[in-house]
Structure 1
């Protein structure tokens, strides 16, 4: 690639992201959210002059997800407590994000599993939460509180949690390699 001053940056991660081919970009950012439109819209906004510009764009685009896109993205997430299998980057990220839950006391995890089954029956989807740095007790409290949501409110909450997970993963992409 020719030397392009817009791609030069003291931030090696940002420079790497700006230099990715379209296919590489879609693959990297597809692991962050799993919505093709989101990754493609983000790709078209390159080059980014800063991390905050990239994160702001990722956030703005994620706020426009349709219910169908959210549902499709949910299919790529394991249930809390069911660690993602495989060595794929997404599985590795998911295992790390749920590490606080895994370290929780068994009794809390058992109550969580029962509440999670109730949630799935009520809302007909997995319970999704940005679990990074949260304990099993915190996740149980969040799940219990969300059971009081109506379906429309819960759809908005799930979309917000998906967006938070995606933004954390964008930071990981920037920090990788």
Structure 2
């Protein structure tokens, strides 16, 4: 899609297009309402700005759409397709690494009460496992901030993908 097309779309269509990037209505409306944009970088900047900060309710809602890292998202939604593509780029893994990632996911969810969220694009499974282990040392408030930043990165990455 070209930015000119994005700028010319009806607001409701833009919001529908944006929600698979991150299912947060306020964010999508804010990005839509800042039009017109001059280019993809301008749209990405608006996406980052609108995502700072996320509210706790927004974070909780967005997390419901993310499968544990290493598992494929179910469903036919655009967001599930994006998640499968992002996690699919991690490549195949050996059984031991997959088991350690599953165990790490479970321990993380037990400690923090929600799925481990990380921008998978550009990372290997081993890097993700190391990051998960490191983040297990965070207190809940620090981890919430780290998780929110990861969600921002995911949203902006997906937003940028609309214009490629």
Q: TM-score, normalized by length of structure 1?
A: 0.88
> Is 2:77 the counterpart of 1:77?
no
- Partner in structure 1 of residue 86 of structure 2: 97
Q: Is the 8 A contact 1:101 1:109 kept in 2?
A: no
- Partner in structure 2 of residue 9 of structure 1: none
> Is 2:103 the counterpart of 1:114?
yes
- Partner in structure 2 of residue 165 of structure 1: 154
Consecutive unaligned residues in structure 2, runs of 5 or more: none
Consecutive unaligned residues in structure 1, runs of 5 or more: 1-11
**Alignment partner of 2:69: what SS?**
coil
CA offset digits 1:120-174 (Å, max 9, x no partner): 0000000000001211111100000000001110000010000000011001112
**Alignment partner of 1:163: what SS?**
helix
CA offset digits 1:17-72 (Å, max 9, x no partner): 11111111011101101100001111111010122211111101101211110111
Residue 102 of structure 1 and its aligned partner are, at CA, apart by 4.8
